[in-house]
A and B are shown apart, each in its own frame.
Chain A
Amino acid sequence: MQFRSKNSAHFFINAATVAADLSVVLTEAKNISLEAMNAKALVARAGDNVRTFKPITDFMVELANDTIWLVKEINREALVLSRTSLAELHSSDANLRFAKAQQKASTAPYVETLDPIAKMAYNQHHQQSVQLRRHMRKLFELLDEIESRMLAANVVTATSRLEAATAADSYQASLEGIVVKLEKAANRIKHIATKCRHSLER
C-alpha cells in the first residue's frame, strides 16, 4: 500500500467507485447465503447419506454472513475514504495557495502576518494526510480479510468436491451443483476485491 499525493485528485473518485463495485460482492454473498440454505435443506433430507457435508453447509452460512458484514464495512469505509480524500485535496490546495502567497509577498512589509495562517493551512493538510492514510490502511485491511476468506472458501470447495464424490449417487449432482456455485461466487468476490485493491493502489 502506498499513497502518493499526486494521485489524490483522482483518489476520491476511485474510492467512490470501490463502493459501487462492492454492491456486486453483496449480491454474490447473498447468493452464497441462498445456496447455503439449499445445502442445509438437502443435508436434512438426505440424513446419513451426506452427513459429512453438514460442516460444509455451516461454513457456507458463516462465510456468507461474514462476507455480507465485511462488504458493509468496506462500503462504509470506502465512503469515508472518499470524503477524507476530498478533504485532503482541499487542504492540500489551500496549503499550496497560502504558500504561494507567502512566496509572492516575500518583500511585502506585512508578509509575516501571513505566517500563522500559512502554518495553520500546513498543519491542517498534514492532519488530513494522516487521516487519509489511516482510513486507507483500514480499507486495505478489510479487503485483505475478504480475500483471505475467499481463499479459505477455495480450500473448502476442494474438500467438498471429494465429499460430494463419495456421497450416494442420488445426491451427487445436487451437491456438486452447490459446490460449483460456491466456488464461482467466491472467485467473483475475490476478483472484485482484487480489482478494488488495484484501483486504490493506482
Chain B
Amino acid sequence: MKVIKLHEGRSHEWLVFGRDEERPSKIIDTNQYMIKTTNHAIMLDPGGIELFSAMLAAVVHHVPVQQITHLFASHQDPDIISSLGLWDKTLPHAELHAPWLWEGFLRHFGCNSIRYNPLPDEGKSLRLDDIELQFIPAHYMHSSGNFSVYDPQAKILMSGDIGAALLPDGAPMFVEDFDAHVDKMRLFHQRWMPSNRAKKDWVRRVRQLDIEYMAPQHGAIFKGRDVQRFLDWLDELEVGTGIK
C-alpha cells in the first residue's frame, strides 16, 4: 500500500493510502484517507473488506490504532465501507459518520460496537482537536445520500466518487496532465452520476470553498488550478447517460 502525506500542518496531517500492489485485479482501486490530529484520527472512506489487512497494516505505521476515534463513509458502497465489520472489532469505541439515509443498510456490514452518527441531509461539522471538518452535501453524486469532506485549514476537499478516474495500475497519485486525465473520468461521471441538477448543486456549493487539493476516492488527486478546471469540466458534462 502506497502512503503519501498530502498535508502536514501544525495541528494535523492528511495521509492518502492507495495503489495497493496486492489488490486482487478485479477489485476497483481505491484511495483511503486519514486525518491525524494531536489526539485523534479519522479515516475517510476506509475501503472494502478485501483491503482491510493492508489498510490496517499501513495505518499503524502512522498512528497507534486506538488513536483512530472516527470513521467517515461518504456513502454506502462496498468499496467505501464493506470493511466496517472488521473496523467494528478493531475500534469498538469509534464513531462512524455516515449519511442518515444509509444507516439501516450500512449496518448489514456489521456495526455492533461502533456508534453510528447519522449525518443529516444538510450536512454538519465535526471538531477534532484544533480542526473543524465540514461534511458537505453531495447527494445523488452518485449515491442518493452522499457527502464530501472539507477541511478549511488544509484547504482539502475529499470528494468521494466525484472526480474519480479509472486508471491503470501504478498510475501517479496526482493529476499531471488534466486534458489527458479527462478521458479517464468521462465514462465514470456520465454513467455513475445520475442527475444534472444534483451535479450543478454540488458544483455551486464547492465553488464557494477555497480548495488547494481535491481528493477523490478513485484515481488521482487534483491540485491548484486543476481543481477549478475539474469543476468547469463537470459543470458542462452531461451526466445520467445510462438512459438513452
Contact = CB atoms under 8 A, between A and B. Distances in A.
The 3 closest A-B pairs by CB, nearest first: A104-B57, A105-B57, A101-B56
Contact of B60 (A94, A97, A105): A105
A120 B57 contact: no
Contacts of A134: none
Interface stretch (B62-70, B156-164, B188-196): B62-70
Contact of A117 (B62, B63, B65): B65
23 contacts: A90-B85, A97-B52, A97-B56, A98-B86, A100-B57, A101-B52, A101-B53, A101-B54, A105-B60, A105-B61, A108-B57, A108-B61, A109-B61, A110-B60, A110-B62, A110-B64, A113-B64, A113-B65, A113-B66, A114-B65, A117-B65, A117-B90, A121-B89
A24 interface: no
A114 B56 contact: yes
Contacts of B61: 105, 108-110
Main secondary structure of the interface of A (DSSP, over half): helix
Contacts of A168: none
Contacts of A113: 60, 64-66
B54 A104 contact: yes
A152 interface: no
A34 interface: no
Interface residues on B, range: 10 to 19
Contacts of A20: none
Contact of B56 (A90, A105, A120): A105
A90 B56 CA distance: 18
Given A117-B90, A120-B89, 9 more contacts: A94-B85, A94-B89, A103-B57, A104-B54, A108-B57, A110-B60, A110-B61, A113-B65, A117-B89
Query: Which range holds the interface residue count of chain A?
Result: 10 to 19
A114 B60 contact: yes
Interface in A112-170: 113-114, 117, 120-121
A104 B53 contact: yes
A104 B56 CA distance: 9
A48 B109 CA distance: 70
Contact of B63 (A102, A110, A120): A110
A111 interface: yes
Nearest to B90: A117
B60 A108 contact: yes
Contacts of A111: 60
A104 B85 CA distance: 20
A116 to B, nearest CB: 9
A111 B59 CA distance: 9
Contacts of B54: 101, 104
Interface in B16-60: 52-54, 56-58, 60
Interface in A168-188: none
A92 B41 CA distance: 28
Nearest to A115: B65
Interface in A58-111: 90, 94, 97-98, 100-105, 108-111
A33 to B, nearest CB: 43
A108 B86 CA distance: 20
A114 B63 CA distance: 11
B57 A101 contact: yes
A110 to B, nearest CB: 4
Contacts of A98: 53, 56, 86, 89-90
Contacts of B89: 94, 98, 117, 120-121
Contacts of A100: 53, 57
Nearest to A96: B53
Most buried by B among A101, A105, A114: A101
Contacts of A110: 60-65
Nearest to B54: A104
